[in-house]
Amino acid sequence: MDVTQINDAQQNLTSSQSQPNGKRKRVESSRDAVVYPRKRAVAACRQCRVRKVKCNNSRPACGSCLASKSQCCYDDSQDHSAFDPASILILDRLDQVLSRLNQLPDSLGVSTISTADTHISPTDQLSQPLISPDQDPSYDHLRIPSSKTSPDAILRWPIFENRYPRNYMVDAVFMADMADDSDVEELNPAVKTRRSNPRLKGSGIDEDQILDLVQRFLDLVHIKNPVLDPDTIWSYARRVVEDGLEWDSPSCLVLIACALGCVAQPYTADLSPPENLTSLQAQGEDIQKGERYYNLARRRFGLFERDVLASQCQFLAGVYLMYTQRPLSAWAEFHSASRSYHMYLQCQARRPSRCVDAAKASKRRQLEQRLYWSCYKSECELRAEIELPNSSLADFHYPDMYPSPPDVPSEAPHGEATFQSGLQRSSGGRRSLGSHRQHEQSWFYYLTEITLRRIVNRVLNVLYSDDHQSWTDDTVPYMIKAASEFEQQLDEWYEGLPALIQYNEDTIPDEELPYMVYSRVLDIKAWIYRPLLYYAIHSPPNARCRGLVLPYLDKAVANCMRIVRSEPVPHRHHGTWYATRGCTGAMLSLLAAVRCGTIHVPPDWVSAVGASLLKLKYWEDEGPGVSRAIEVIEGIMSTLTDQT
């Protein structure tokens, strides 16, 4: 499908100036300097204009193009004339972060990796371009390989000599989801532990806490996945408080928000878990409360209509399940949200064109954009760890490369938002939707996450289309070329990162959103370097390409050490389970390097791995597969101790 143009605002950006020291000059923007395009009539898509037929302007594909199975493309995929100055300012700053994304390598291609020309020297192969001129770099690979970067994939490396069964750790994830099967309890004691955990107890809720819990949801969860409108959820919450729960989607959404409000925690920079406590012991009461709200919400799942609200409920249910360490159940909800949303888009595309309120249409469009990217991104994250189907949205090329930000609250003297929704004004209680800084930081984080997701997809398709058996002498030059280009792109991305989410690679951030970005980049770098580390571990010292990979070995080991020292934190969030997996993968990579004996590993690796195991044990009773990960790491470490 043809790609629509990136934000029109890019045309008004000032290009970066070169500095004597080689650093790019940051472009300064001011709201007064922004030039706004005039509002104009909605234009038909390109196909309808060429064919001179009526276009109903549905997105992502109009009714006429759907009927004729044509590629639907709009010249103005995102009309910024409807945005307020603060929203355009966010887009302006975002463009500085993302301006060079399309220069990422599009693909090495499976055929390139598997059929490298052995008659070309490694150095000659390094000079060959990676980007195919026939491929459009604006759209990424929406389909990705499944579970190729998981800890179980590392455990299959020959260095570990098949010590554990295939998929040993991830099998525990599936077994934990089989809680109704009495036979499973005998096979996996962790199932018995999960049956007796706090989430299975209690039934009633306190409706007097609903408004406070919704506020907590907005403060702690919504800022990372803004898939709904705060004013709308507040109107639903107020109705529930005044009239009681009903058997409809709005009540369901409020209940899920309350469930998330129960289990979400404010971020603290403390990396050490509480002594002699597990996550279930430390937060058992919160989980029990959250489960009550969630169970009431589940009873309403079968009553959804085919609309955005249904997908919002299903998506946030998946987020709640990730917060409470149930990845398979979470995937089922994310997948349902994607399918519901896909059907909604199909229905919208077939609706006849009609006059609608511009403000309402803009708000609906923003929600559609955010929901698309959040659903797709969440499915991809789980598919990278578990053998699961591709997202139903993977074949649905959405025309907007990034979601548009909503209106930004104007800044008050002390950084507090100066506006309140109609609900807040009418209720007489002030419930801030967050400061101007929090709003900007939230959106920079969300859009940066989408950017990094796109980078990850390319890394996976370039380096992980096949398993580790493809990482040979013949493919090393191409992998080095890819690693170099990905490194360069990440460096340029980092240089333009807004101050609100900036971090120092050698210092663990003390704010939540910069920490999330920091952790995401560490994982990406681990995946970039891992094939080269594998090659060095499994090749003799005189291997043909050994000299080419040497510069990357120190980077790979240092990156693994950073992951081991920083993950997982005792803070509960959407990505906690992923952090346990990423940390396990980093520890396995270090142990493989130590075991081979030809790669330098810092002498404090033993204490670093030991400290990380303590952090894993904090989540052991709750996170499926964590107990087996601990067993594997401790078992391999014991063999290394015996060798020394």
Cα separation of 81 and 572, whole Å?
40
Tell me, yes or no, whether 93 and 207 share the same domain: no
Q: Is residue 55 part of a domain?
A: yes
638-643 long-range contacts, CB within 8 A, separation 24+ = 639/595, 640/591, 640/594, 640/595
% pLDDT > 70, the chain: 71
Task: Say what the pLDDT of residue 337 is.
Answer: 95
Q: Specify the pLDDT at position 408.
A: 54
Residues 217 and 347 in one domain: yes
**Chain segment 436-448, per-residue pLDDT in tens:** 788 889 988 998 9
Look at residues 437, 467, 501 and tell me which one is the last residue of a structural domain: 437
Written as six digits, the tokens of 378 are 């969440």
- Residue 530: what are its φ and ψ, rounded to 5°? -60, -45
What per-residue confidence (pLDDT) applies to 617?
A: 96
Q: Does residue 530 contact residue 557 with C-beta atoms inside 8 Å? A: no
Q: What is the pLDDT of residue 558?
A: 97
Evaluate whether residue 477 is within a structural domain: no
With H, G, I as helix, E, B as strand and everything else as coil, classify residue 558.
helix
Cβ atoms within 10 Å of 541's Cβ, excluding its own: 7
**pLDDT band for position 627 (cuts 50, 70, 90):** very high
What confidence score (pLDDT) does residue 263 get?
Answer: 98
Tens-place pLDDT, residues 221-232: 999 999 999 999
The lowest-confidence range among 77-86, 350-359, 420-429 is 420-429
Cα gap 583→572, rounded to integer Å = 15
pLDDT at 203 over 80: no
* Residues in contact with 584: Cβ distance below 8 Å, sequence separation at least 6, in sequence order: 151, 169, 616, 629, 632, 633
pLDDT given for residue 199 in this prediction: 54
Q: pLDDT tier at 180 (50, 70, 90 boundaries)? A: very low
List all residues 6 or more positions away from 388 whose beta carbon is below 8 Å from its beta carbon: 146, 331, 379, 382
Q: How many CB atoms lie within 10 A of CB 364?
A: 15
| 209 inside domain | yes
> Domain for residue 222, yes or no?
yes
Check pLDDT > 50 for residue 616. Answer: yes
Output phi, psi for 480, to 5 deg: -65, -40
pLDDT digits (tens, 9 = 90+) for 442-485: 988 998 998 899 899 999 999 999 999 999 999 999 999 999 99
Q: What are phi and psi of 444, to 5 degrees?
A: -60, -40
What is the rounded CA–CA span in Å between residue 501 and residue 445?
7
| Count of domains forming the chain | 2
Q: Establish if 402 belongs to a structural domain.
A: yes
Taking residues 97-112, what's their average pLDDT?
46
First to last CA, the chain: 58
User: Quick one: which of 222, 253, 218 has its CA closest to 237?
Assistant: 253
Other C-beta atoms closer than 10 Å to the C-beta of 84 total: 14
Which helix H or strand E contains 512, and what residues bound it? helix 512-538
Of the residues 48, 75, 103, the one at which a domain ends? 103
**pLDDT tens-place string over residues 54-88:** 787 776 677 778 777 677 776 544 555 444 454 55
Show the domain range for 94: 8-103
pLDDT at 159 exceeding the cut of 90: yes
Residue 396 within any structural domain of the chain: yes
Residue 644: name the closest of 605, 613, 589 by CA.
605
99: in domain: yes
Domain membership flag for residue 66: yes
pTM of the model: 0.79
Query: What pLDDT, in 10s, does the model give residues 276-298?
Result: 899 999 999 999 999 999 999 99
Q: State residue 50's pLDDT score.
A: 66
